[in-house]
Amino acid sequence: MIRVPECQTELDLVIVLDGSNSIYPWESVTLFLNRLLQNMDIGPQQTQVGIVQYGENVTHEFNLNTYTTTEDVLAAANAIVQRKGRQTMTALGIDTARKEAFTEARGARRGVQKVMVIVTDGESHDNFQLKRVIEDCENDNIQRYSIAILGSYNRGNLSTEKFIEEIKSIASQPTEKHFFNVSDEFALVNIVEALGERIFALEGSEPTASVLVARCAPGSDNTGATSSCGSTTAS
Ligand SMILES: [Mg+2]
pLDDT tens digits, residue range 54-101? Answer: 999 999 999 999 999 999 999 999 999 999 999 999 999 999 999 999
The Å distance, Cα 135 to ligand 1 centre, comes to 23
Per-residue pLDDT for 229 more than 60? Answer: no
pLDDT at 132 over 90: yes
Find the 100 Cα to ligand 1 centroid distance in Å.
Answer: 23
Average the pLDDT over 130-153 and give the result: 98
CA of 33 to the centre of ligand 1 (A): 18
Q: What type of residue sits at position 139?
A: N
CB 70 within 8 A of CB 35: no
Fold annotation for 11-206: Rossmann fold (3.40.50)
Residue 25, preceding peptide bond in cis (omega within 30° of 0)? yes
Whole-model pTM: value is 0.84
Taking the centre of ligand 1 as the mean of its atom positions, its distance from the CA of residue 17, in whole angstroms, is 11
Distances (CA, A) of 119 to 96, 171, 212, 217, 218: 15, 11, 24, 30, 31
Task: Tell how far the Cα of 96 is from the centroid of ligand 1, in angstroms.
Answer: 18
Q: Which residues have a Cβ under 8 Å from the Cβ of 93 and sit 6 or more positions away?
A: 16, 18, 52, 53, 54, 58, 118
Q: Ligand 1 centroid vs 20 CA: distance in angstroms? A: 5
pLDDT at 3: 53
User: Taking the mean position of all CA atoms in its chain, how far away is CA 22?
Assistant: 20
Higher pLDDT, 172 or 2: 172
Tell me: pLDDT of 217 over 80.
no
Distance 123 CA to ligand 1 centre (A): 7
Q: How far is the CA of 149 from the centre of ligand 1 (A)?
A: 10
CA of 121 from ligand 1 middle (Å) equals 5
